[in-house]
Structures are given as structure tokens and as C-alpha cells.
Amino acid sequence: SQQGEEDPQALSIQEGENATMNCSYKTSINNLQWYRQNSGRGLVHLILIRSNEREKHSGRLRVTLDTSKKSSSLLITASRAADTASYFCASDGETSGSRLTFGEGTQLTVNP
Amino acid sequence: DAGITQSPRHKVTETGTPVTLRCHQTENHRYMYWYRQDPGHGLRLIHYSYGVKDTDKGEVSDGYSVSRSKTEDFLLTLESATSSQTSVYFCAISRKLDQPQHFGDGTRLSIL
């Protein structure tokens, strides 16, 4: 079963709006990461949040982690057409020996 | 971008033939990974390596073997390809197991 599951599967917004994607996981984790994938390309690391952190920022990205609910969210503020991509969460569950388990991703479309 | 090169980028072959995919890095990272990406499944770990000649199985290792004779090269072999192995294969590298991973641009493999 998937360690990480993203919600929604697809999201379409207008430029300038904020985009929020959610991720849930099943087992205790050491850290959780978010990646981005443009069509036809490999994944690119965005941000890592450790299990003892609750919130982290990087530019227009804000990630939160709620270990009691086993969930995380990625917020992209003031979205741009160039943000159009698939976004994946990846967690290293304690039962997977720190290896990453990826969710199925959220496809974000930002319309100009 | 991290120096990761996957070859070939595209390959079409027939069922029952052997196939070898190559991942080459110039970053001197200790860890190297092979994933497959399929619709509805996200990325799934096939095998990974934690050093020269040191490898371990991932979530979907059946039908695949790997070798790492040099720090910079990690080979994935399908001994006798099957249609179920049609997928996009990604190589990734990281300094440590719990550190962000850097991905290549993938190999699209079609087995007819």
C-alpha cells in the first residue's frame, strides 16, 4: 500500500491564486519531502521537513506537517503558469529503513 | 542540475530479450536508486545501492537485477523483459539515505 497519498489528484487554478496540496501517510516517519516533476522530466526536490518540525518555508512554498494526523500540506502562493507540474510527497517511514516511499502525485495546472 | 545521465532515453524491445539501463553520476554520491513510474502507482523503488558492490532490494525487485562496479555507474538489468515491465525508469542519487534525492530525466522503455 502507498505510504504517501496526495489529495487532490488534479488541481486547476488561475495565475495569482494559491494552490494547496495535501499528503497523508500511514506509518511514523523521520522526514517528509516534496518533489516536483515537469512533463517528461525527472523529479526535482523542493523541500524537506523533519518529523520534529511543524512548518517550513522556501520562497513561495510553505509546507506544514502534522504528525498526529499523519499528514502534510504544500502551499504554493501567487502561482504562475510555470508552476504547472506534478507534485509528489515522499516519506521515509520507520518501517522502510529510511528509504523513500512516494505518493501518486497531484497534477497542478496553472492557467494564464 | 545534479550530474546524472541515464541511457538510453528511449528503448523499444521485444518480450524475452535482455535489457540494460545505465545511470551515470558525476557527483560522487554514495547512494543510487532505480525507480519505475507507472500511472496509478507513483514511483516505486526497484533496487538501490549504498556503495560499490553494495545493493539491496526495493519494493518491486522481482525480474530486475542491478550492479555497481564503480561509484559513478549503476546498471539495471531486465534479464528477460516482459510486457509488464513497460514503464518509465528513473535513476536517483543522494549523499545519505535520508537526504534529498536528485533524479535523472528517465528512460522510457516499451516492451512489445
Give CA–CA dist A1/B106, Å, rounded: 24
pLDDT score for B33:
97
pLDDT score for B13:
96
In this prediction, residues B79-87 reach a mean pLDDT of 96
pLDDT score for A11:
95
Give CA–CA dist B82/B89, Å, rounded: 15
Domain parsing of chain B, residue ranges: 4-111
Q: Cis peptide leading into A8, omega within 30 of 0?
A: yes
Confidence of residue A6 (pLDDT cuts 50, 70, 90): confident
- Residue of chain B nearest A48, judged by CA positions: B100
Contact check, Cβ <8 Å, B42/A103: yes
Q: Which three cell numbers stand for residue B16?
A: 524475452
Confidence of residue A3 (pLDDT cuts 50, 70, 90): low
**CATH architecture under which domain A4-111 falls:** Sandwich (2.60)
Q: Which CATH class is domain B4-111?
A: mainly beta
Domain parsing of chain A, residue ranges: 4-111
Contact check, Cβ <8 Å, B106/A42: yes
Query: Is the pLDDT score of A7 beyond 90?
Result: no
Q: Residue A107 gets which letter from DSSP?
A: E
Q: Each residue of A13-31: pLDDT tens digit?
A: 999 999 999 999 988 888 9
Q: Which three cell numbers stand for residue A68?
A: 498526529
Q: Each residue of A55-100: pLDDT tens digit?
A: 999 999 999 999 999 999 999 999 999 999 999 999 987 666 668 8
Instruction: Count Cβ atoms within 10 A of the Cβ of residue A30 and give its class: 0-12 exposed, 13-18 middle, 19 or more buried.
Output: middle
Q: Each residue of B23-79: pLDDT tens digit?
A: 999 999 999 999 999 987 889 999 999 999 999 999 999 999 999 999 999 999 999
Give CA–CA dist B44/B64, Å, rounded: 13
Please say whether the beta carbons of B92 and B45 come within 8 A. Answer: no
As a whole number of Å, the end-to-end CA separation of chain B is 33
Q: Which residues does chain B have within 8 Å of residue A2's beta carbon, measured at their own beta carbons?
A: 42
pLDDT score for A27:
86
- Range B66-105 burial, b when 16+ CB lie within 10 A, else e: bebeeebebbbebeebeeebbbbbbbbbbeebbbbbbbbb
| Residue B3, min C-alpha distance to chain A (Å) | 12
Query: Is the pLDDT score of A2 beyond 50?
Result: no
* A43 in contact with B, Cβ within 8 Å: yes
pLDDT score for B34:
98
Q: Which three cell numbers stand for residue A103?
A: 505518493
| Residue B109, min C-alpha distance to chain A (Å) | 13
